[in-house]
Chain A
């Protein structure tokens, strides 16, 4: 009886190991590919290349906006930081950074190409994340500043094989060391850590 139980146990162990091996080989990869700054992100229908990026302090950003005649978001609109929402209903819209505190601005210049023969739309917030740390939620694109930095509608549909250059602005109050760009797609997880210097 003991021998039979032992044989059953060994067979179960073997089947379990075989199944785990199969799942890890056959299923779409869940690995995260670490890519360099000069490599391209592969989004299946789109490719995404980081052309350059800039990181500004709050003061540098204000200076840049002044030079380009762009009004500060918090001066033009009555914006509210999402953490200060409680008991406050008097605002135009919600932002994910606190304009009254110190913040950092990341401007990424991306070359986005539609790789297909069809018209495609890209959901930039859904496909591509900018993180300040791997255990923190991604930062959303700041649409106010991004719309000033792009000549046309950067969210518009892409014609077949069209390539467009898009500048995206991300603002955070985090005092992080490195920004991380991340793509999480089925079988195509990719991560790029910026070294916080101009490319």
Chain B
């Protein structure tokens, strides 16, 4: 199992498509930094530290130490064009490097060699786990890059609620953690993104049950993800609770948490369809 995982992870992470996705993600992360009001704050601090009098006047008038997390791209939500556009196309980015390798293995006959060598079960499990890891990693990459960029502009520190500069209110998920232990909050934030987008990417495997065209499979997670957002937002009038918006848990309210969790459970169960499909695979 370890051997096949090593091979599959190499296939997922060491390929041109993955490098292109990393480049695109980096562009989104940099774009989000430069196009939000956070950039003005960062620029003002830069000028202040270099002795600019106007910047000094503003900083001393505000009389508050801004921190990196204050200008992190998820804080701006849909008002940041780069962030929102990235959020919309994220399932596409997640699936590009590795998402259709199962179908490619099948059509090239490579699957037979794998299965003869390591067995059916191990092959399918490794496929599922690798796609999950690949999708999750691509999803958290721009968030992490943007956080690094913000940390290069402002010092790292705890958010302070009384300043009113932060979007997390007492009714938002893990709000206590946000104001008391931002590092743990961030780890949790990344973990949720990783799991949710890992599961969304695995939809491509589950859908081989219905569709074997690799180009269609590339689009499947995106179509389901976006349709789910439209249905939940406009159909059920739960605008902030679709996977597209609520995975940015900065906006997720405690009252909507169960509904959000239910969506993840349904997603997971749907992903498991892949393991039913493989019983029918004729090698």
* Chain A residues engaging chain B, CB cutoff 8 angstroms: 16, 19-20, 23-24, 26-32, 129, 131, 133-138, 182, 184-187, 189
Contact = CB atoms under 8 A, between A and B. Distances in A.
Contacts of A129: 162
A189 B63 CA distance: 10
Given A16-B152, A20-B148, A27-B155, 19 more contacts: A20-B152, A24-B155, A26-B49, A28-B65, A29-B65, A30-B66, A30-B155, A30-B158, A32-B158, A131-B162, A135-B168, A135-B178, A135-B179, A136-B161, A137-B162, A138-B161, A185-B63, A186-B60, A189-B157
Nearest to B70: A30
B170 A135 contact: yes
Nearest to A27: B155
A131 B158 CA distance: 16
B170 A136 contact: yes
B162 A185 contact: no
A19 B149 CA distance: 10
22 contacts: A20-B156, A23-B153, A23-B155, A26-B49, A27-B49, A29-B65, A29-B155, A30-B154, A30-B157, A31-B157, A131-B162, A134-B161, A134-B179, A135-B170, A135-B178, A135-B179, A182-B160, A184-B160, A186-B59, A186-B60, A186-B62, A189-B65
Given A23-B151, A23-B155, A30 B179 contact: no
Given A27-B49, A30-B157, A135-B176, A186 B152 contact: no
B67 interface: yes
Contacts of A138: 161-162
B169 interface: yes
Contact of A137 (B158, B161, B178): B161
Interface of B: 45, 49, 59-60, 62-67, 148, 151-158, 160-164, 168-170, 175-176, 178-180
B161 A30 contact: no
Contacts of A187: 65
A32 B160 contact: yes
Main secondary structure of the interface of A (DSSP, over half): loop
A133 B171 CA distance: 12
Contacts of B175: 135
A19 B169 CA distance: 31
Contacts of B60: 186
Contacts of A32: 157-158, 160
B43 to A, nearest CB: 14
A19 B62 CA distance: 24
Contacts of B170: 133, 135-136
Contacts of B164: 137
Contact of A131 (B59, B161, B178): B161
A134 B176 contact: yes
Contact of A30 (B67, B153, B162, B168): B67
Contacts of A24: 155-156
Given A129-B162, A135-B175, A184-B160, A30 B65 contact: yes
Contact of A20 (B64, B151, B176): B151
Contacts of B168: 135
Contact of B169 (A26, A135, A182, A189): A135
Contacts of A31: 157-158
Contact of B162 (A16, A20, A29, A182): A182
A24 B156 CA distance: 7
Contacts of B163: 184
A28 B178 CA distance: 22
Contacts of A29: 65, 155, 157
A29 B158 CA distance: 11
A24 B180 CA distance: 19
B64 A186 contact: yes
Contacts of A28: 65
A175 B65 CA distance: 31
A27 B152 contact: no
A19 B152 contact: yes
Contacts of B155: 23-24, 27, 29-30
Interface-centre pick from A19, A27, A29, A184 (highest chain B CB count, 10 A)? A27
Nearest to A15: B152
